Chain A
Amino acid sequence: MSRLRLLAGRDITSGAEDFTEHVRRLGAQPAAGPALIETIVRSGLTGRGGASFPVGLKWKSVAAHSHGSAVVVVNGAEGEPHSKKDRMLMTTRPHLILDGAFLAAHSVRARQVVLYIGEEHEAARNAMLRALAERRPNERKITRVLGAPPRYVAGDSSAVVHLVNAGIATPMTTPPSPHERGVEGGPTLVQNVESLAHAALIARHGDAWYRSAGRRGAAGTLLVTVAGGVSGPGVHEIEAGTTVAEAVEMAGGVTEPARAVLIGGYFGSWVPAEHAWDLPLDSAMLRERGLSIGCGVVGILHHSSCVVCETAGIMRYLAAESSAQCGPCFFGLRALADACSRVAERGTNPDDMHRLHRWAIDVRGRGACHHPDGAVTFLQSALKSFPDDFAHHPAHWRGQGRQTPAGRAQGAHLDE
């Protein structure tokens, strides 16, 4: 990869870049304010937390509602099991993230910055805390650190707000959404760490610079986590528009012939490998094709694995991660996961196939947050991309409902 931006600087295996190095390499903290917001809008930077919402528009909206009561939440929860990019960024480039956070805080007139870091991401947390200690007093004074519970929905914006306000990381009903009324009633900007890091660089080099990277008409760079059947799984910074095949090459290539690619993580979509290789990894270009970049996970599944079984395993995980606040999500996802598992373990039957299609439609859009929607999108992509596998599945179980030491099912064995 020729143009590293987020990961430019010292080698990522050699630890965090400290403040002195950061300033020496990139210069002093640039200016913040409405002009910066406009620059970010022009850059076309989209969020890296999964929803790909335009970052500049988000800052603009929060600034518009803010009367000095806004709050910036730096979202480093990274609850997606196979995603490692946020952890990696926090561990190696904490000052980029902090720059972005304080630039955002200044631009939206926030009085508080919350660093929301996954409880189990110890190295990341330590790196961010050390970096925070190196910052100026006026920045440290307005910042606090909060641990994100290691559950999938803990990264949801409204769940973060609920945790800060009431101590419990469960999603809330919207409206009002966090950018209107969030932490302590003030408009809250919840932004993924990678998004903030990009913003910090755009603030220094401008929107034209950001757009100068990218392939096939896409703009900017992004972090992807290549997981599963490749020889060098891990996080890579790629130019937007890089194809799946190119990204897989960067990760050492496949170790066995690939059957399917999971694009976007557990809320993403399965794509048959032969159709996936040429897909450009860019949020807009994927959306045109009915797909989503999500949190940037690209998972490779071998022919020796079974798509149906893997899907069942992931559905079981997602069902178990429901916050159990909404009936359709909790019962619906469980029923879908059970039906999927029956097909996986005991073989196809028309009743379960009918149920999978019917319940998926029933469940979509009927939760307070997007958890059921993401799960259903994932399931429907499996049904659509591999209809024959589902229609003729024999009775075997080649998936894994592996338990982590904490006792939680991890879903798919993509990382092997």
Chain B
Amino acid sequence: MTTRTLRLCRIAVVLAAIALAPAAAFAQLPTINRTLRDAALTAVQKEFAAPLAAATTDAEKRAVYRQMFEALMRNDSLYPRLTQAGYRDAIAQDSSRAYTGLVTAVGAEVRESAISPSVNAPLSNPAANGLIERSGATELIALAADLRSLFASDGSAVTLNLNAVALFRGTTRNNIHAGAQYLYAQRENWRRVSGSVTFGAKIPEKDLTGISGIPNPNELFDAIAWDVKVRAIGDRDPRASKWYELFVGRMGTVTELAATVPTHPIVPIADTGIAADAANEVLGNETRMAANRVANSLLVSVKTSGQHLTQEAGRNKYAVAVMVDKGFANVDFTANATYSAADAPVIAATDPFKTKDWQLSAALTGSVLKNALVNGRAAELSAAFSGIIQMDDADIPIDRKNVFKLNATLSLPLMDKAKIPLSFTYSNDPNNLEKEKYVIGQIGVSYDFGSIWSALK
């Protein structure tokens, strides 16, 4: 009897599954439960029956259908309730069922300044143009050259940026045609870690120690610099698992409703085109809102760095920095806080000592001239303010004053992933014996190999 009951239960489950199957007969990702959707659609149709009947023109009908879509999207029961692991499994299964496919470069269709990674290392690279460092890092490998010598005599420097994920072999995908999110999910946590090495820099004494009140603060020294950076909070890459619920869950439901509702038997054949137009309008709004949510999300990174004079023993500078990025409307706000300690030179009649500084910087960055120079890319314009606050102990033999800098940088896009940053920095320096106030102009070039690497691996 028990066995028979069990068998009947199994048959009932199979029959129920078959009954529900047509809605998802071929679907590769989880779909809306058809019973729920049809009930919601019927309710919405009932709610809007009078306005729809009263609508006499196509425009009026489209407005009503648009309200119907918006009402459907407010129905929480239509959205999937998957965990992060559930989304990951669904994406992996979808990729494994792909028919054909090419994997090409992925950037984000959000504003360029929002996803712009730091391919240089302004906080640790003494020759870098710009005062501010963004929280993001290169996807794989990037090179940046600072051609300061064009405007000043401080030489040039080259910075190699490396993401930790570049240390691994590309994900094996001989037997599958993987989707963008599936590939990004491989070693996703390693993508948080990046590092850079700057070589070829010649820096003046004052840039290392902050001491300009000495006879020759502009004497140049050969230096190398390094940093290790970890993105602690956030990810503005739309492929990241952080956004599964938004893109696969919410937006996937919106695209499903946009495709199913205009073709549903409940919509009169004569209204099919109008309903599709209304769905397209709603989908466009939802797509823009999703892009803005990614672009304006919070990013926080921490990094540690070192600068070393290669021809002077025992002359090092170490720093720890926190970087915060947050978007507002169409502008990105970036703030950096850096604590550093540097070995000062031996000055007559004193023992070696360390100078200690807090550097606090803030910047606003926006995208301008989209599609003007390179199709699909924009230039970035940023304005930054930075203050260097001396934290010396009482026994330091030199009295240093705080230094302030203003910077404007315009980064022009070049080809697919290159940039040419042009920057101008104004600085006061009350410590300088010559009491000079100066402006430095710099030009650089950077190339992020992420896209090429992705295409080749």
Report whether chain A binds chain B.
no
Contact residues of B with A, CB < 8 Å? none
